[in-house]
Amino acid sequence: MTIQFNTNTNTNGSYKLKTYFSDLITEELSRFSEHVTRIEVHLSDVNGDKDNPNYKRCLLEARIEGRKPIAVTKQADTYEKAVSGAIEKITASIDKIFGRLKNRS
């Protein structure tokens, strides 16, 4: 499973940040690693320099073998909360897809 990061101009896409979130995503989605070929992470600061709640945004897009990509978004006051929330959403979405596939068999 490849993890690709994208950030906007208001977001510091440092190596440390990417490594931390890559490890977190890899750990949380490891049970899907056979079927998920790539995860795209889009981090953005929605309000730029303004200090408003829920202005950090994480969009996760999962590329699943033989299926259309799925994407989820989470906004929070920190990147950690935004990424964690997006991971929860994408995990639930992938679980739902594979649950449907099992029911068809």
pLDDT exceeds cutoff 60 at 101: no
Angle between helices 15-28 and 79-104 (to 10 degrees): 30
Q: What is the pTM of this model?
A: 0.86
Domain ranges of the chain: 2-104
pLDDT exceeds cutoff 60 at 93: yes
Q: pLDDT for 81-91, tens place per residue? A: 999 999 999 99
d(CA 46, CA 95): 29
Strand-pair partners of 56? 45, 76
Strand-pair partners of 70? 62
Q: Which two tokens stand for residue 64?
A: 């699943």
Q: pLDDT for 15-63, tens place per residue? A: 888 899 999 999 999 999 999 999 999 999 887 666 666 689 999 999 9
CATH of segment(s) 2-104: 3.30.160.100
Q: What is the DSSP letter of 56?
A: E
